[in-house]
Amino acid sequence: MRYNVENMSGNNTKDQNGVKNDISGVQNDDQHGACTNPNQPQDARTSSIGVARTQDGHTQNGDPTQELLRALGTTISPDLLVEALTHRSFSHEHPGTKNYERLEFLGDAVLELVSTETLFSAHPDMTEGQLAKLRAKAVSEWALSAVARDKLHVGPYILLGHGEMEHGGAQKDSILCDIVEALIGATFVEHGIDEARAVVHRLIDDTLAEVLTEGPALDWKTSLTVLAHEMGLDEPQYRMSVSGPDYAPVFRARAVLAHENGDELLGEADGSSKRKAQLAAADKAWHVLDRRRKSSGESGN
């Protein structure tokens, strides 16, 4: 049985403990095949299934949230896990409900510490500026959102408000990146720095290895411009749009090559600011052009 988000709206708003109690109370019915409210939007029920399971079921065999915790390689208590998976759009619609922003703030610091110490040890001769560029690549929004999708498959577990859900929030790079940091923060709160460090390595060691191989680079917008010029292309342009509610605007950047017959899209990304969105879009666009350059070089040999 999936938790009915609709029952939390209007005058029936619950705090986070109320959500936990409701979900725990229906867990046994869920195991016997009970149905959700048929009038509830399918997307809302799908988005909340993972969180519903985590309240009581993440220690039970067959619970889908076990896969999330298994991918993290740790355990997180139900209240912290729910907080780490709750977007502010949900807490805005349901006052009294905690969202992941505090845990994200903490997790961002832990992630920066662990990635910094790893790069510092691996490159004793690099300057501070070079190390900073390596770290920026390793923990970029693009890199962390890929971790969220490919390693954690976290999208279905995120609690979103209805508006954010309708805008595809569970697949937005910015939100997925935040969730990864919040889960790291929750691990730190629950178990301390050693366990959090192990989780960070489990999640980003592959990315760190790639970064160590590639070496330091400029920020993604500058790197994209340099690469485009090296390939004889015009400087990429950025087309911007804004969506979402006023309290949580989402900026979308489209990195394009402008041609006479229209724009050629290279990369598209969302961010909580114009700069973040453009950097994330430039990151994706750089990889597209880099693959094109390598493919062209191979075909020319």
- State the Cα–Cα distance between residues 157 and 51, nearest whole angstrom: 5
For the record, the structure tokens of 37 come out as 């409210």
Is the Cβ–Cβ distance between 5 and 164 less than 8 Å?
no
SS3 87: coil
Tokens of 269: 């990304």
Q: Residues near 85 by Cβ (< 8 Å), separated by ≥ 6? A: 50, 51, 54, 100, 154, 157, 158, 159, 179, 182
In one-letter notation, the amino acid at residue 271 is: G
CA-wise closest residue to 178 among 288, 83, 46: 83
Active-site residue identified among 83, 181, 270, 283: 181
Strand runs (DSSP E) across the chain, as ranges?
237-243, 250-259, 262-271
Residue 6: active-site member: no
3 state SS of 171: helix
**Active site residue: 93, 108, 141, 270, which one?**
108
List Cβ neighbours of 26 (8 Å cut-off, separation of 6 or more). 1, 3, 34, 52
235 is catalytic: no
Distance CA 252, CA 242 (A): 6
Bridge partners of residue 263, in order along the sequence: 258
Catalytic machinery residues: 108, 181
